């Protein structure tokens, strides 16, 4: 068995089924993916709850909602100057393509669907692939910051490029939708619950096969960023 699958088995045994993506509908999943960027899941949940509470969680209702209303509802997800518009434009796109029929929207040819998603503002490679995997049921491996950091740290690969990392997992991962969905979820759980803050390598399920010393230079922590708040 290859190391990528060893990692999967260890994580799966340790964490158990994740049941990802947590959402009650495909559209809710897509909304979550759009709001997710550079924000904690807790804040995304708040935004989604606000939308649900106002019964604004369908392509048509969001497409027709006022930008001010939308901004107020999704504010907890941060980046409020861009996310509300992106969310509305995304919804408008679904409405214009399929009249708001989410299943029909997701049913088209995966390659075309991916390109279409990528053409929308605010949808990059990770968001597009998340929607493909968790909403459209397309078997693609999601590459996020955790996947790169942990993959390098554990010693699966030493590159950083999105397409290359994705190709690596496509080649190494044996399994269907279930495994693809779980693998990504398990990486995120590992990053959040074991590696974050002070890494808890003593209780890490990957301790036996992780060569931290060798890959330490790659590091778990991304380069510092200066996120200065904009005073109003």
Determine, following the binding rule CB under 7 A, whether residue 157 of this chain makes contact with DNA: no
For residues 161 and 169, the answer to whether their CB atoms sit within 8 Å is no
Of 120 and 173, CB closest to DNA: 120
| Closest distance to DNA from the beta carbon of 149 (Å) | 8
The stretch among 5-13, 58-66, 102-110, 126-134 that binds DNA (CB under 7 A) is 126-134
Record the tokens describing residue 154, joined without a space: 């554990």
For residues 227 and 39, the answer to whether their CB atoms sit within 8 Å is no
- State whether residue 81 is helix, strand or coil: coil
Determine, following the binding rule CB under 7 A, whether residue 121 of this chain makes contact with DNA: yes
| Closest distance to DNA from the beta carbon of 71 (Å) | 10
Binding to DNA (CB under 7 A) within 20-39 occurs at: 20-22, 33, 36-39
Determine how many CB atoms are found less than 10 A away from the CB of residue 44.
Answer: 22
Determine, following the binding rule CB under 7 A, whether residue 124 of this chain makes contact with DNA: yes
Nearest to 125 by CA among 91, 180, 159, 165: 165
| Closest distance to DNA from the beta carbon of 98 (Å) | 21
Record the tokens describing residue 95, joined without a space: 């409405």
| Binding interface with DNA (CB under 7 A) | 20-22, 33, 36-43, 46, 75-82, 120-128, 130, 134, 144-146, 160-161, 188, 191-192, 196-197, 221-230
């Amino acid at each position: 068995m290859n190391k990528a699958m060893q990692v999967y088995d260890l994580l799966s045994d340790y964490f158990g089924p994740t049941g990802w993506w947590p959402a009650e509908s495909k559209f809710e999943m897509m909304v979550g993916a759009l709001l997710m960027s550079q924000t904690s899941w807790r804040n995304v949940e708040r935004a989604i709850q606000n939308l649900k509470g106002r019964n604004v969680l369908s392509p048509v209702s969001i497409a027709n909602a006022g930008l001010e209303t939308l901004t107020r509802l999704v504010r907890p997800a941060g980046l409020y100057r861009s996310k509300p518009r992106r969310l509305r434009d995304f919804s408008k796109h679904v409405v214009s393509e399929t009249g708001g029929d989410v299943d029909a929207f997701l049913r088209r040819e995966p390659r075309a669907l991916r390109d279409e998603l990528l053409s929308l503002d605010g949808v990059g490679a990770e968001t597009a692939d998340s929607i493909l995997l968790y909403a459209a049921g397309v078997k693609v491996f999601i590459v996020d910051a955790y996947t790169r950091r942990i993959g390098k740290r554990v010693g699966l690969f030493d590159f950083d490029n999105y397409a290359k990392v994705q190709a690596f997992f496509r080649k190494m991962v044996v399994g269907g939708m279930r495994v693809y969905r779980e693998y990504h979820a398990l990486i995120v759980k590992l990053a959040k619950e074991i590696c974050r803050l002070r890494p808890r390598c003593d209780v890490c399920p990957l301790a036996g096969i992780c060569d931290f010393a060798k890959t330490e230079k790659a590091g778990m922590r991304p380069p510092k960023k200066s996120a200065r708040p904009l005073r109003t």
